[in-house]
Chains A and B, each alone.
Chain A
Amino acid sequence: MVEPATMKLEFRLTPSAGEPNSEVLDDLVKLVRQAVATAPPDMTEIKAEGEFRPPEGEEEKSLRGLESWIKHRIEQAAGASQKLIEQRETISSQPDGMEKLAAEATRAAETVVAAVQRARLRGVVVTTSGDSTAS
């Protein structure tokens, strides 16, 4: 089954502190691509063919509302981020800290793949810009 895409969001994720780490950012891109490549093959396709345009009038109001809610919820998560940073600092000071951090990064990588595939199951297709596949 194929459904036409009616809406598209574009955004960028950037490190909020420190120098951008190309290797880690590239790994995030690869994780999104892995999620797309390993998604169950029988999912409904959402085709993003054809042109998209900026929203106007009521639709703009509605989509700006969506943007505000997403940003608001991400800001609310800043506390959780801080907790993760503190946990990381604590772990890195332990004798087996490097192994624990590696294990946490591996689990977190699995979570990224799962998040992309969960979204896909609910009809929300995530790709990295430049990857034109929306199916």
Chain B
Amino acid sequence: MIAIDAVHDALRSPQAWSALDELVRTELAAGRLTDHIHDELAATLDEVRAAPDHDEDREEPLLDTLDRLNGFCRADIAYQNPPVLPTEDEIAKLPRWARVAFAARCARRSLSSVPKEFGGFDLGLLVSTTRAVEAAAVSLSFTLGEFARRIVEVIAVDSADLKYIEGPTSNSFADYRKFALKAVVAAVRAADSYANATEVFTASSIAGSDGVARSLIRRDFDHLARLASAYGWTDNTPVPPEVFGPLWPEGKPAGWPDDPELPKRTDVALEVVSSERVSETMIEDEVVNLFLAMNRFHIARTGHPLTVEDFHPFVAALVPAGV
């Protein structure tokens, strides 16, 4: 809990922004969420304004801090939640198919930790089942299909207790098998239970059984919650798996296995289309801007730049030739 006196002191400090930043970071370090800190600071605004020595300039640092807490700022200066798993209450606030998509994402993350040498077991089946849950979040319907039925049979034989949540504790086949099965079954149960928040929470708890995964799951969840809020998603909004982006935009942690579904790529083929109202200068600007962004990402990950090849322009066939 942030005391009002601490907010007053921070605002009276010659380095008010830094002082408020320190207050916020202390709260985040204690595991508190940005939403809660935002609400608490926002509730102090009236008292800050009522202070006898108040002037409008003085509340600027507080308003900026509130913007950084709710993401109304550049992405790189927005405060991020600490690496704690989303609670059942938070999950319950997501629209239905966003909850299913989130459960599927958690299963994906769990499957991504299975070492390659264990990929032979029923990993293909687990990947297919996860894909079925992802597809459910797009088609807005889920039936316990053949893959899922087989998975549930396997887990029944395995008699693993889903309440017993623990990631692989040794680098053994049995450990990873159980972990992967649990994660996928949790996602199936989430989809099959009308996205019951408890089942979705179980899916995220299994996937987030280690610190690295926990911070990524929190990031996935916050991303989804922001989209749902910004675009007014409802219980009937489809949520494709693409909304999450890559599993590891920062690069996989050392020692993690390769993605079993990774396609062999030597390039990125792009298509750019535009309408009549867009000038060539605008197209040029956007293509160059896109290239610079992709090049920066590629250098950050590999240390090597990109180059453009096989540039082919086309015009709509309905446009008369030579015009």
Residues of A at the B interface (CB closer than 8 Å) are: 3-18, 20-34, 36-38, 40-41, 46, 48, 50-59, 62-67, 69-71, 73-74, 77-78, 80-81, 84-85, 88-89, 101-116, 118-119, 122-131, 134
Contacts and interface: CB of A to CB of B under 8 A. Distances in A.
A127 B270 contact: yes
Interface residues of B, number: 75
A12 B290 contact: no
Given A77-B292, A124-B283, A10 B304 contact: no
A85 B323 CA distance: 44
Q: Is the interface of B mostly helix, strand, loop or mixed?
A: mixed
A21 B307 contact: no
B278 to A, nearest CB: 4
A73 B284 contact: yes
Interface of B: 75-76, 227, 231, 240, 242-246, 248-252, 258-259, 262-278, 280, 282-284, 286-319, 321-323
Given A21-B301, A102-B250, A126-B290, A5 B275 contact: yes
A11 B276 contact: no
A73 B245 contact: no
A7 B246 contact: no
Contacts of B296: 84, 108, 111
Contacts of A15: 298, 302, 304-307
Nearest to B323: A59
10 contacts: A8-B273, A13-B295, A50-B318, A59-B323, A84-B300, A109-B245, A109-B297, A122-B278, A126-B286, A128-B271
A127 B319 CA distance: 22
B240 A37 contact: yes
Contact of A66 (B246, B265, B280, B322): B280
Those 3 A-B pairs whose CB atoms lie nearest each other, nearest first: A57-B322, A34-B245, A129-B269
A22 B243 CA distance: 21
Contacts of B249: 27, 31, 105-106, 109
Nearest to B314: A52
A3 B294 contact: no
Contact of B284 (A20, A30, A69, A106): A69
B299 A25 contact: no
A125 B317 contact: no
Nearest to A27: B246
A45 to B, nearest CB: 10
A20 B265 contact: yes
Given A8-B313, A124-B278, A115 B290 contact: yes
Contacts of A122: 278, 282, 286
A9 B303 contact: no
A62 to B, nearest CB: 7
Contacts of B273: 5, 7-9, 46, 48, 124-125, 127, 134
